[in-house]
């Protein structure tokens, strides 16, 4: 019931939000709200500071009580700031997104979540790549992309410290499982255990099923840290172990359908007069990619931000493809 009740609430709230988002400006307002919330959370994290070694701990949201989940929730917002910084031509309109982006990226550096860092890197790189090689471009667009890339790298030099650099470097160092101690690679043992669970329970074990049964499937000689009742640390294997093969297929189909809707929306906007809207859809696509990368290393299958990404995609699909409101917005 702890999983069912939030699911019902989320379905109601997302349905209302979808019905209220009827214009391209409404979609902008929703994205603005997300950025404002993420910037405030980033400001709050900057005030807390690192309180557990080289990381921030003890912060969270309603559906994410740990810092890693917060970092994953902030990752797509950094991509959103990047888009609005590019879209707005006035420095006065660019400035708020510079400030918001600074708080968000600083919070990510303080939390030191490798999954969220990878998410921002992959999502941001995809967005910049689409900007640079777009078939239809704004004047000086490629120069603008190069400037943004250089400015972003310069800001990272300022924000990132030695502990953040070491944390990123540890991704490659911990690629091999060490059975004598818990490392990032230990998660691969958890993922293997999830496959074994699915074989024994093809319909899934339900919410929290992996944590309860983990000691039965994780080899006793593998050091899992303070507890053997560990989370699987991957939304893909969370879906497999908790919802079974059928739930895993549905989870994959939700993501596949989302990218299909994005592709159709972009095809509808492939004209010079719809350039800003085209890249808004690319931004939403990059946000989803960013979060998918982050949630690959976290249990975020039911997270609100994942549902928000689906909501943004559904709204864009409804506005630009089904209702084709972009055809009248330029009149």
Query: Along the 331 residues of the chain, how does pLDDT read in single tens digits?
Result: 878 888 899 899 999 999 999 998 999 999 999 999 999 999 999 888 877 777 788 888 887 778 888 999 999 999 999 999 988 888 899 899 999 998 998 899 888 888 888 899 999 999 999 988 887 777 777 787 887 777 766 666 656 655 555 555 555 544 454 444 445 567 788 888 888 898 989 998 888 888 888 888 888 777 676 777 788 889 999 999 999 999 999 999 999 999 999 999 999 998 888 989 999 999 999 999 999 999 998 888 888 999 999 999 999 999 999 988 776 665 4
pTM for this entry: 0.89
Whole-angstrom Cα distance, residue 298 to residue 2?
Answer: 19
Residue 91 CA: distances (Å) to CA of 46, 86, 96, 218:
25, 11, 9, 55
């Amino acid at each position: 019931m702890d999983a069912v009740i939030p699911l019902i609430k989320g379905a109601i709230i997302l349905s209302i939000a979808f019905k209220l988002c009827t214009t391209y400006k409404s979609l902008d307002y929703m994205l603005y709200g997300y950025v404002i919330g993420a910037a405030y959370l980033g400001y709050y994290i900057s005030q807390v500071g690192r309180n557990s070694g080289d990381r921030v701990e003890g912060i969270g949201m309603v559906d994410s009580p740990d810092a890693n989940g917060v970092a994953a929730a902030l990752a797509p917002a950094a991509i959103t700031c990047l888009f609005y910084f590019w879209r707005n031509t006035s420095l006065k309109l660019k400035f708020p997104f510079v400030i918001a982006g600074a708080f968000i990226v600083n919070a990510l550096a303080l939390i030191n979540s490798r999954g969220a860092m990878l998410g921002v890197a992959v999502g941001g790189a995809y967005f910049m790549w689409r900007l640079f090689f777009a078939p239809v471009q704004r004047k000086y667009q490629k120069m603008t992309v190069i400037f943004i890339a250089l400015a972003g790298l310069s800001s990272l030099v300022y924000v990132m410290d030695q502990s953040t650099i070491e944390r990123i470097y540890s991704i490659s160092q911990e690629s091999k499982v060490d059975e004598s101690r818990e490392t990032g690679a230990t998660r691969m043992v958890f993922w293997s255990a999830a496959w074994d669970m699915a074989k024994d329970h093809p319909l899934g074990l339900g919410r929290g099923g992996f944590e309860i049964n983990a000691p039965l499937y994780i080899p006793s000689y593998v050091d899992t840290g303070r507890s053997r009742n560990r989370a699987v640390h991957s939304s893909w294997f969370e879906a497999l172990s908790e919802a079974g093969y059928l739930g895993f297929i549905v989870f994959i189909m939700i993501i596949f359908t989302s990218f299909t809707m994005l592709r159709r929306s972009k095809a509808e906007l492939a004209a010079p007069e719809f350039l800003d809207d085209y890249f808004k859809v690319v931004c939403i696509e990059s946000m989803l990619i960013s979060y998918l990368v982050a949630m690959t290393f976290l249990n975020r299958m039911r997270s609100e931000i994942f549902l928000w990404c689906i909501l943004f995609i559904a709204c864009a699909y409804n506005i630009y493809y089904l209702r084709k409101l972009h055809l009248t917005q330029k009149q």
